[in-house]
């Protein structure tokens, strides 16, 4: 794939909030739960593009404790989509770290080998973090009990891209997001296309980095 554009300032760490799977499904006459499976291939298209741009680290929002309030068929579908994504990723290059509360039954057993420790697939090349059964209160409470947050191995995020038009973090890594620039894509996540990433990277070049100074 040809590099579409080169950037003078590429974020080291990109956060991905792939929202809108259920709204996409409804718009296509499908059950809400059917949207999640359509969210897996876009993740790999984005992964390839991030590798190509030399992004060092990316964090994907899988599902959260809050999401577990949803209907059982939706829970089953988003959990399966996360497992499928990791199984596909195992054939690629990535240093995978799954972060989430493994002590809850909502955490998929198939992902326990990757939980809270980084596992290398292929040649590595990019640090990929995947939030699975993540809960921001669980993350921060570890500061009280352990002296460090649970997501301590995830670095500060430079750019967060959220699909599906909503302009909020929805509990996404509150500590790592404190200085991140937010870019919102109106399209739903299953409608991902490369231009979304390029528009976000283009915009990011115009943001100064001050860290409050």
Interaction site with its own copies (CB under 8 A): 64-67, 69-70, 136, 140-141, 143-144, 147, 166-171, 174-175, 177-183, 207, 210-213
C-beta of 82 vs 96, nearer to its own copies: 82
Min CB(22)–its own copies separation in Å: 11
State the nearest-atom distance from the C-beta of 67 to its own copies, in Å: 6
Least Cβ distance, residue 207 to its own copies (angstroms): 7
| Sequence-distant contacts of 27-34: CB under 8 A, at least 24 apart | 27/188, 31/73, 32/71, 32/74, 33/71, 33/73, 33/74, 33/76, 33/77, 34/77
State the nearest-atom distance from the C-beta of 77 to its own copies, in Å. 16
| Of residues 88, 23, 18, the one with CA closest to residue 58 | 18
Task: Return the structure tokens found at 119.
Answer: 């596992």
Torsion, Cα 89 35 164 157, to 10 degrees, reads: -20
Nearer to its own copies, 12 or 70 (CB): 70
The nearest distance, CB 16 to its own copies, in angstroms, is 16
Query: Is the distance from CB of 190 to CB of 34 less than 8 angstroms?
Result: no
Which residue number, 47 or 163, has a Cβ lying nearer to its own copies?
Answer: 163
71 touches 36 (CB < 8 A): no
What size, in residues, is the chain?
A: 213
Nearer to its own copies, 61 or 130 (CB): 61
Nearer to its own copies, 92 or 198 (CB): 198
Q: Across the beta sheet with 127-134, what order do the strands follow?
A: 119-121, 94-99, 127-134, 57-64, 13-18, 159-163, 181-185
């Amino acid at each position: 794939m040809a590099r579409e554009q080169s950037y003078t300032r590429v974020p080291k760490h990109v956060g991905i909030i792939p929202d809108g799977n259920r709204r996409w499904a409804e718009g296509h006459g499908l059950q809400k739960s059917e949207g999640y499976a359509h969210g897996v291939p876009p993740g790999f298209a984005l992964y390839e593009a991030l590798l190509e741009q030399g992004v060092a680290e990316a964090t994907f929002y899988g599902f959260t404790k809050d999401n577990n309030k949803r209907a059982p068929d939706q829970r089953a579908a988003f959990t399966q989509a996360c497992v499928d994504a990791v199984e596909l990723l195992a054939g690629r290059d990535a240093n995978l770290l799954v972060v989430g509360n493994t002590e809850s039954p909502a955490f998929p057993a198939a992902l326990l080998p990757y939980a809270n420790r980084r596992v290398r697939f292929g040649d590595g090349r990019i640090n990929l973090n995947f939030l699975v059964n993540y809960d921001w209160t669980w993350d921060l409470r570890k500061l009280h009990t352990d002296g460090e947050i649970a997501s301590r191995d995830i670095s500060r995020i430079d750019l967060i891209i959220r699909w599906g038009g909503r302009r909020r973090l929805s509990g996404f890594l509150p500590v790592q997001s404190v200085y991140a620039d937010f870019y919102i894509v109106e399209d739903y996540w299953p409608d991902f296309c490369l231009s979304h990433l390029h528009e976000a990277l283009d915009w990011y070049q115009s943001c100064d980095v001050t860290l409050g100074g």
